[in-house]
Structure 1
Amino acid sequence: MLNISPYSIRNKVKEKDFRSFGLFDDTEPDKLLKRLLVALFVSFIFISFLPWTQNVRSKGKVTALSPSHRPQELNSLIDGRIEEWFVQEGQKVKKGDSLLFISETKESYFDPRLIERTQEQLAAKRQSLDFYEDKIKALDNQIKAIEQNRRLKQEQARNYLRQAELKIQADSIDYQAAITNLEIAQRQLERQEELYEEGLKSLTDLESRRLKLQEALAKKISAESKLLSSQNQFLNAQIELNSVYNEYTDKLQKAYSEQFSTRSNLQDARMEVVKIENQLTNYQVRAGYYYVTAPQDGYITEAVSTGIGENIKAGEPLITLMPDNIEYAVEMYVKPMNLPLMHVGNDVRIIFDGWPTIVFSGWPNISYGTFGGEVVAIDRFISDNGMYRLLVKQDPEEPEWPEAIRVGGGANTLALLHDVPIWYEIWRQINGFPPNYYNPENEDNNVVYEEKGKEKK
């Protein structure tokens, strides 16, 4: 009992008659406190050597493992107007099901027979191609005929030239013979005149020789005239040969020019055919965009554009589709200082929002309500929030994740690292050191996930 009051009762009361006084007298506070402190110290030493699993905690959200299984917006590929809806929000659809119908708003596509008329234009242009090809073939035949006629005409002209050349040779011989006869007649006349002066020949013989001389001179002049005429014929034959070549060459050049012009028109027509074919294909493909269809099985979650008669632009979102049969994953974000600790294949404990849990971060084996996962991908670039994103999928050796989780739901994650004593973890936390850095065997941070049902590489 504390002696706080200045008035003591020890002399007035028999302390042995009261049990409470005995209790206080027998108690030794210092000894009890020492035992308590010793017990606490021993317990602390024992607990400090228990194993503690280092971990990195972060927040994330539920997503799909494959990009094709994540929520997607269906956009319109053309400008148009909503005419009819075939689905409602929350409805399950299959791949290829029609979701809504869009009509045209551009005047260039108003014609209901646009595809048919374009096909007619294409058929006409293709027929013009046949006409140009037939004309080119006809010009080829014409060119061959002109070349053949030129060859025959040139051969004929060469024959005329050869005949003129031979005639010149014959006339030259006749001319030389006439000159020789004229020289002989002159010598005979000179001898005849000498004999006449001597009286050995009569005047009649002399005059006969003079007459023969005149005849020889006349033959010589006639032969020279024929020779000149033959030379003129030879020149005319040469001119005719050149004229034939020039005439038919000019015809060939005109035929070639017309053929080249036709070939140019043929290429232009082919370009027009290709252009019309392109337009026809575009019209046919565009007609297929009037009905917006489901690209895969899933659920209609939201109709972004609503109503009948609402105008929409190309690329504008129409419907949000949530794919079916999703293999879920969790996106977790870690600080850059913890990124070297993360590796593909790391074990992760996940706490999904809405599921009751009792968590002992250092003793995951005795935690309740957590689910197992493993890291399958690590981003190579930092996210907008200043942290690095990791993708975690379900651990096949752990219990399956809840079926009721949905994409976008919250999740808290604990990436499990080394097992260390509790005293080391306390010392690390006090000093602000990061968890232990280590490299697992067969490390490969470039591993990427594949579609459901396929193993990691």
Structure 2
Amino acid sequence: MENFKSFQFIYQQGKSTEIRFWIMGLLLIGFGIIFLPWTQNIQTKGNITSLYQEQKPQKIYSPIAGKITNWWVKEGDIVQQGDTLVKISEIKEDYLDPNLIARTQDQLNAKKGSLDYYIQKVQATEAQIANLKQSKTLKKSQLANKLIQLQQKINAEKAELQASANEQSLAKDQLERYQQMYKEGLISQTQFQQRNVTAQNALAKKIMSENKVNQTIQEINNTQIELKSVDQEYDEKINKADSERLQSLGQIEANKGEVAKLANQVTNYSIRNGMYYILAPQSGQVVQSKKTGIGEIIKDGEELLSIVPQNENYAVEVFVRPVDLPLISPGQSIRFIFDGFPAIVFSGGWPEQSFGTFAGKVLFVENAINANGLFRVIVQEDSRFKKWPKQIKIGAGVKGIILLNDVPLWYELWRNINGFPPDFYQAKLDKSNTYEK
């Protein structure tokens, strides 16, 4: 029975086996593998963006409320900065007048003319006040001179009165002597009568001199009263003129305010006319049109469409957990897998040996956490490796592998079994950690 061939293949008692060599070989290989280097890493997701604000997708809004009149673009069109996108027309009754700017300018010119008239009136009133003050001074000087003349006149009249009084007193004495002599018969009646006439004339002359003095005194009193009334008269006229001047100044200030308001309206209307044509603020592709058709009513600040700039200054934003944040620093290496580009990735410890991935380096980490409880990390292209593909677009998805410290494989297994985080270490940063356009 031992001679049967089948027996020889089925029963192997007493024969040596090679399985121990296979087991020992596998153990040696496994023991060697656990000492292989392993790159700790953080895997995350994100999307393509741009570091510069002007290169990110831009929404175009309507600056005023109106009605769409014409479209010059459609979705997918490439536009240059300054190209006309949409034309809108007015719907508010305050701006429907086609000659609104011209009519407002006429109002402005009329108000400016009124302002000039009031300015001239103020100047004329000020000249009038100056003339009144000068007239007041001249009038007071005139009355003062008149008082001096009257004083001189009354002095002369008083001297004349004194002479008349002396003459009258003398004539009176002579009349009394002549009367005595007439009684004694020493003179004739004719002589006595002549002396009596002379005495009467002297008395009359004295009375006339007294009247002149009294009249001059009265004239002096009247002149003094007139001198005192000059201040009141001219002050009243000056105050009235000054009141008119102040009123005109008030009108000037009011007109200045209205002129400024009308000038502001003219400027606003002119600027508003320029808002009927919505222009492209920068070059790019028209996408995501929110409004369609002709005659559609839009509000001010309402979104019309978006423009995606065409640029080559791409960056990547990825999001990491707070627990991983201490392990990330500017200049740190990271590998990317862009959506739409095939890649063969050795997940885990050898991402640098993966095929189809692209290199980048951390530019900065935001200090504020977002609504999802993650921190945003901005990554730029690493110029030391192959360039990122030109076909990538803003908003496309990205898978990132942030490279950390190199450790043995057995240590990484031990770390994961115990649930420890990756090792904290100081990364060797690239000194050229800048982003250039």
Could you tell me the TM-score, scaled by structure 1's length?
Answer: 0.81
The Cα of 1:432 is off from its aligned counterpart by 2.3
| Amino acid corresponding to residue 366 of structure 2 in structure 1 | D
Matching residue of 1:428? 415
The alignment status of 1:250 with 2:239, answered yes or no, reads: no
The alignment status of 1:378 with 2:369, answered yes or no, reads: no
1:189-338 to 2 correspondences below 5 Å: 225-338=211-324
CA distance in 1, matches of 2:163, 2:429: 118
* Structure 1 stretches of 4+ moved >6 Å: 175-179, 182-186, 202-221, 441-444
Matching residue of 1:27? 16
The Cα of 1:157 is off from its aligned counterpart by 1.3
Among 382, 386, 393, which residue is 1:399 paired with? 386
1:101–1:413 CA distance, 2 compared to 1 (3 A): same
CA distance in 2, matches of 1:373, 1:397: 9
Cα displacement string for residues 62-99 of structure 1 (whole angstroms, at most 9, x for unaligned residues): 11221211112111111111111111111101011111
The Cα of 1:302 is off from its aligned counterpart by 2.2
The alignment status of 1:357 with 2:346, answered yes or no, reads: no
1:44–1:167 CA distance, 2 compared to 1 (3 A): farther
2:335 counterpart SS class: strand
Cα displacement string for residues 104-130 of structure 1 (whole angstroms, at most 9, x for unaligned residues): 111221111112222222222222222
The Cα of 1:323 is off from its aligned counterpart by 0.9
2:387 counterpart SS class: coil
1:310–1:245 CA distance, 2 compared to 1 (3 A): same
CA distance in 2, matches of 1:313, 1:283: 18
| Amino acid corresponding to residue 376 of structure 1 in structure 2 | L
| Amino acid corresponding to residue 259 of structure 1 in structure 2 | R
CA distance in 2, matches of 1:172, 1:359: 138
CA distance in 2, matches of 1:443, 1:17: 70
Gaps of 5+ in 2: 181-185
CA distance in 2, matches of 1:14, 1:280: 120
Matching residue of 1:57? 43
1:266–1:22 CA distance, 2 compared to 1 (3 A): same
CA distance in 1, matches of 2:430, 2:210: 115
Residues 164 and 237 in structure 1, CA contact (< 8 A), matched pair in contact too: no
Matching residue of 2:183? none
1:39–1:139 CA distance, 2 compared to 1 (3 A): same
| Amino acid corresponding to residue 251 of structure 1 in structure 2 | K
Count matched residues.
Answer: 426
Gaps of 5+ in 1: 1-11, 197-201
| Amino acid corresponding to residue 44 of structure 2 in structure 1 | S
Residues 16 and 22 in structure 1, CA contact (< 8 A), matched pair in contact too: no
Matching residue of 2:404? 417
CA distance in 1, matches of 2:356, 2:35: 27
1:241 counterpart SS class: helix
| Amino acid corresponding to residue 228 of structure 2 in structure 1 | N
CA distance in 2, matches of 1:298, 1:213: 130
Residues 185 and 209 in structure 1, CA contact (< 8 A), matched pair in contact too: no
The Cα of 1:427 is off from its aligned counterpart by 2.7
CA distance in 1, matches of 2:14, 2:201: 196
CA distance in 1, matches of 2:49, 2:75: 21
CA distance in 2, matches of 1:271, 1:398: 66
The Cα of 1:424 is off from its aligned counterpart by 2.8
1:213–1:398 CA distance, 2 compared to 1 (3 A): farther
| Amino acid corresponding to residue 384 of structure 1 in structure 2 | A
| Aligned-pair identity (%) | 41
Could you tell me the TM-score, scaled by structure 2's length?
Answer: 0.85
1:121 counterpart SS class: helix
The Cα of 1:136 is off from its aligned counterpart by 2.1
1:351–1:161 CA distance, 2 compared to 1 (3 A): same
| Amino acid corresponding to residue 425 of structure 1 in structure 2 | E
CA distance in 1, matches of 2:76, 2:215: 112
